[in-house]
Amino acid sequence: MALFFVLTQSIYGMRNKEVRLYSPKHNTTMKKIFLCSSFADVAPLLPESVPTSLSGKTVAFIPTASIHEEYTQYVEDGKNALVLLGLVVRELEITQCEKKEIVKVLNDCDCIYISGGNTFYLLQELRKTGVDELIKQHILTGKLYIGESAGAVITAPNIEYVCLMDDPNEGKELTNFKALNVVDFSTVPHLWCFPFEKATKEVISRYEESLTLKAISNTQALRVDGEGVKILE
């Protein structure tokens, strides 16, 4: 983990660079995953990360993690950034939709996007609706997944490590913190970024020996595909 931290520091501030981190244990042949801290800040990197044009494609936009947050400007910023890339945004707030509607939208869309917010609340609501398994299957069969902040964290095997950044009490109905498990690392978003400077350092200090952490700033992203995992700037 210390090696990764030094590597991240050495490339911080460089634009349009990518560094191969490692070949994950998970089979990534079919996966197309783009993880970030602040999508609006890294949106130009997305078209470079997928093999086909995004123009005219439909994205299921899931803002559920944000609905109890005081600050939510990043949700609108994310949607606007997607539109500027030529994507058609279909908002899907899963606590307000019937299961059959959720299934249809996820089946019909070309991409899935989960925004930031409280990761524990997000996991709780994904489980309650069964959407966690639906999304996982779409990811494993090659549908493009874009995860911002909480949406990035949720791809890990377990989200307990992020209790230093998010309030676990927002997911009071959870009996465990097992997450989507579509990657074999744990994303630490907002590295060095306000207001998470202290929290991200604490996460790394506490979990760097027990977890494979991938820490990214607001201007970095992680790409997971058949070539493995790469950090982008």
C-alpha radius of gyration, the chain, whole number: 16
**Dihedral sign computed on CA atoms, order 91, 95, 98, 102:** positive
Active site residue 26: no
Active site residue 217: no
Task: Please give the backbone phi and psi of residue 66, each rounded to the nearest 5 degrees, phi first.
Answer: -95, -10
Q: Which of 149, 186, 210, 217 is catalytic?
A: 149
Q: Is 205 exposed, middle or buried (0-12, 13-18, 19+ CB in 10 A)?
A: exposed
* Cα distance from N-terminal residue to C-terminal residue, the chain: 20
For residue 41, give both structure tokens.
């800040």
Q: Which of 190, 205, 210, 217 is catalytic?
A: 190
Active site residues: 149, 190
